[in-house]
């Protein structure tokens, strides 16, 4: 199903439909500590429907073979499935097949870009790679809400090239200071790297405005789409980003597979990150010539079964409708935040209730460490995330060392959100903490 076809589906998901979808996820029938499992950690890793597990199992049982190498029937069938999977993912995000690179996860995808720029800065890639070379005086711009995977690679790139890393700050409401963005993004900016949706705050960033600022100065744009690709329609061409990264395990797929989108003309000009077999045309003892993208970035034996399973996950999501999934989760996100705001002692990070946000919420419970909150909820069979969520600078900005995060997905029900909220209400009493009122 294409993005256009997805967007023509306007009927909202119903609770009855969600209940039927839940039957496709065997793990949701589990009991934890004597309670029915309430899984609210999909922002970290989503659960998999039977069809996804079946796709990987079927490949292993009937077509397991190396791709792009053997001439025998199994190898040909494996290669066809592998490349068909690439096409499936490309259609989901509005890209061409040669603009989708398989990686192990989004972290690797973002590092791939950073190391390709670093190699170009060392003179690799020739004249075609000139636009990727960074030197002292050049600037890389990120935001204060970035996941470490979209921060540390750029810190390292700046350290290797002499470029300067600059940061767009956040307001108290968890949104970007766009006045700062306009002041920081300037003629020295070569790269603008930002998350589409914060994995902590649930903030949905104004991609169009940020891209316009980058385009006005000729900077390239890298989008962390880990919290958007699984949850809403994503058209990378319409968004006009140069690169985007996301992971399979956050969108009903397996671990071990991620996606890098890049404009074809950029990927073909970038020097490779990993080198070896399967990404070359001619090799002598002195030098090698490389294939065009995407193969030039896919050295070695690929994650074949995982890519095929990810395509099955994309088929599942597309059949439900990405716009319908987005609407369902947005409502759950509002239910989460509204409920948390009413609990004494709880401080929610990010946009307030009534403001457009993703289907997740992170909070601090005054006087109780996030890990203790998580353990208490786990005893009730409620799985949530605790810690700094790979976003220490963001937590530091809001005066927190750790938060508790609940995140919903298409299989989450309002009753599960309410069970979570009931559990949070019991935290203060259980730990003997007196609370004077709710707050943000």
Q: What are the catalytic residues?
A: 390
Rounded-to-10 torsion of CA 411, 86, 94, 293:
140
End-to-end CA distance of the chain: 41
Residue (of 160, 149, 164) closest to 115 by Cα position? 160
Exposed e or buried b per residue across 148-165, where buried means at least 16 C-beta atoms within 10 angstroms of its C-beta: bbbbbbbeebbebbebeb
The full DSSP string for 299-321 is: -SS--HHHHHHHHHHHHHHHHH-
d(CA 362, CA 348): 6
Residue 421 host element (H or E): helix 414-425
The phi and psi torsions of 67 (rounded to 5 degrees) equal -100, 155
Do the Cβ atoms of 293 and 98 come closer than 8 Å? yes
- Helices 152-161 and 106-121: angle between axes, nearest 10 degrees: 10
d(CA 427, CA 364): 12
d(CA 433, CA 368): 8
d(CA 123, CA 13): 52
């Amino acid at each position: 199903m294409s993005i256009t076809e997805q967007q023509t589906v306007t009927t909202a998901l119903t609770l009855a439909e969600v209940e039927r979808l839940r039957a496709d996820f065997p793990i949701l029938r589990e009991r934890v500590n004597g309670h029915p499992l309430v899984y609210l950690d999909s922002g970290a890793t989503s659960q998999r429907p039977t069809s996804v597990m079946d796709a990987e199992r079927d490949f292993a049982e009937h077509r397991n073979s190396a791709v792009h190498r053997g001439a025998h029937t199994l190898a040909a069938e494996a290669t066809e499935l592998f490349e068909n999977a690439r096409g499936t993912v490309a259609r989901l995000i509005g890209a061409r097949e040669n603009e989708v690179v398989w990686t192990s996860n989004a972290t690797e995808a973002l590092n791939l870009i950073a190391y390709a720029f670093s190699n170009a800065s060392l003179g690799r890639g020739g004249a075609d790679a000139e636009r990727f070379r960074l030197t002292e005086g050049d600037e890389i711009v990120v935001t204060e809400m970035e996941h470490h995977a979209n921060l540390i690679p750029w810190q390292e790139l700046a350290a290797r090239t002499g470029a300067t890393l600059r940061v767009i700050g956040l307001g108290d409401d968890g949104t970007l200071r766009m006045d700062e963005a306009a002041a920081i993004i300037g003629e020295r900016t070569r790269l603008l790297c930002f998350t589409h949706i914060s994995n902590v705050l649930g903030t949905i960033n104004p991609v169009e405005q940020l891209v316009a600022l980058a385009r006005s100065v000729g900077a390239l744009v890298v989008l962390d789409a880990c919290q958007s690709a699984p949850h809403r329609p994503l058209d990378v061409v319409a968004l006009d980003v140069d690169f985007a990264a996301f992971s399979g395990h956050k969108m009903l797929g397996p671990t071990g597979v991620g996606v890098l989108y890049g404009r074809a003309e950029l990927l073909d000009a970038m020097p490779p990150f990993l080198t070896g077999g399967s990404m070359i045309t001619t090799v002598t003892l002195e030098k090698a010539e490389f294939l065009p993208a995407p193969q030039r970035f896919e050295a070695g034996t690929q994650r074949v079964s995982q890519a095929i399973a990810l395509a099955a996950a994309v088929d599942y999501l597309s059949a439900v409708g990405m716009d319908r999934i987005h609407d369902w989760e947005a409502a759950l996100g509002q239910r989460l935040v509204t409920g948390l705001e009413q609990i004494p002692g709880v401080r929610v990070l990010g946009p307030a209730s009534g403001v457009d946000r993703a289907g997740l919420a992170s909070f601090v419970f005054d006087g109780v460490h996030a890990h203790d909150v998580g353990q208490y909820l786990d005893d009730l069979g409620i799985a949530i995330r605790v810690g700094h969520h790979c976003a220490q600078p963001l937590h530091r900005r809001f005066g927190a060392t750790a938060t508790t995060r609940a995140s919903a997905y298409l299989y989450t029900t309002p009753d599960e959100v309410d069970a979570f909220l009931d559990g949070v209400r019991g935290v203060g009493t259980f730990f003997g903490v007196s609370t004077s009122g709710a707050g943000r």
